[in-house]
Amino acid sequence: MKTTIQINVETLNRLKSFKQHQRESYEEVLNNLLDQAEEDTLTDEEIEEIQIALDEVKRGEVYPIEEVAKESE
């Protein structure tokens, strides 16, 4: 099934700038953009890990990079 969507000229020009080659369809362009957006979305687990790390920083539970580097030697 196919459908038509209405977009303004500025949006069309933005879509054109994402084409990887001249004959690429807008269907392909939009799917590539959607795929990329899905990949860039953080999972709930990743968000939780970031929050834990931010809380540790706020509490001062951090180590200088030099100290961490020494421990890994």
Q: How many CA atoms lie within 13 A of 11 on its CB side?
A: 6
pLDDT greater than 90 at residue 54: yes
d(CA 13, CA 6): 13
Q: What is the average pLDDT score of the chain?
A: 92
**pLDDT value at residue 4:** 93
The per-residue pLDDT for range 21-32, each reduced to its tens digit, is: 999 999 999 999
- Is the pTM higher than 0.75? The answer reads no
pLDDT greater than 80 at residue 73: no
Q: What percent of the chain has pLDDT over 90?
A: 70
Q: What angle do CA 60, 45, 68 make, to 5 degrees?
A: 35
